[in-house]
Structure 1
Amino acid sequence: MDTSRDQSAGVSLNTEEARLVRDSAERLQREFDGTFNTETIERFIHDSENQLTSQATISMWLPVLIERVARDRLKALARPEDSTVTKPAVLFLCVHNAGRSQIAAGWMRHLAGDRVDVFSGGSTPAADTNTGVIDAMAAVGIDISTEYPKPWTDEVAQTADVIVTMGCGDACPIIGGKRYEDWDIESPTGHPADVLAEIRDDVRTRVEALTVSLGVVA
């Protein structure tokens, strides 16, 4: 695998990776059967693939990311069309989607379960989730080891009831009428385990307060 190309060059999927993407399209068709037709799902798969491959420097994990980004976009689009949707949607954003936003999303899923639709993203996604953050969350029984940094998308930002920003500044989406919260949380990058634990616990306190304000008891 060629890892020497600069970010602007992008990458192409090999034969096996392309097959995995086709498999993901089939899974999404089953998941959204009755909500979106095959053509719509394939369009979002292809669009997500183009977006991610154009920004990537290596193709490792891209099939997984393509499926997850496409799923998030479809899930977001399905919310307004489903009159039964009453639960809130929260989008957590930071720069790299590798630390703070992953911690927050992990806590929200853990505390609120399926009572909240949880999304996360980054303005400039990293290649991998911070391993120290993964370990810090594992220490309290929350597994985020299968999460990968991904970009935020317009579909998700538009459907979110609350957009929580953590350090992404002007790169974060600004959408009129949305509820925003800006959390002043230190980046986990480069910190030892004891500091990561403090950051993790700080985020938990904020997520608990957010669930209360949304009418979801943590």
Structure 2
Amino acid sequence: LQVNNNGVISFGVRVHQYTPEPFPLADGRPFVAPYWGDVDNVLGGEVYFRETTQPGLLARVTRDINRYFPSMPFTATWAFLATWDHVAYYGSTTSKGNTFQAVLTTDTRLSFIILNYWDIQWTTGAASDGDPETGLGGTPAHAGFNSGDATHYYNIPGSETPAILNVTQTSNVNVPGRWVFQVDDFKVTGVPTDPPEEEKGAQKNHCWL
């Protein structure tokens, strides 16, 4: 696994491209894109990642996956977490930062990806034609999953549009700020919708691991 500072986890080969493209990609690169954009963590923020078999965390992952996919008995035996913590955008002249996370997990038979969005303040870096003062405009960030073929992929609604700024309030599992995919036999649970009525206007979500 390669954790790239541009908001992408790739398999085998690093991804240097910072301006996103919609999935499926013509060149067949498989990767997870929690927030594929023009990140510059030299200007601000950190990128952390770890592999874990820690029982407490695996229990939380197990609980969540069983809630979202109740017909598939699942007990996580491994997880990989990557967190982009208050990362800046290229060319930024502000203190804006985005915080988001990707979790890969398996029980050796079933595999899932969880994407968590805690705080999104910008969509675009200057090299993708974004405004250095706002982090908006140009080609906004892209979120989703690309398996490397023309069939198994998903573009989170709002990707590469200004609406991706609101990904903290969207979900396919009724948890604002969380998107979940089954990737061993590709499935996207739920139906993309607006945030639940009771969550509209909420400033924080409860999706973090």
Length-normalised TM-score, structure 2: 0.24
Instruction: Indicate the structure (1 or 2) with the bigger Cα radius of gyration.
Output: 1
Q: Which protein has the bigger strand share?
A: 2
Q: Which protein has the bigger helix share?
A: 1
Length-normalised TM-score, structure 1: 0.23
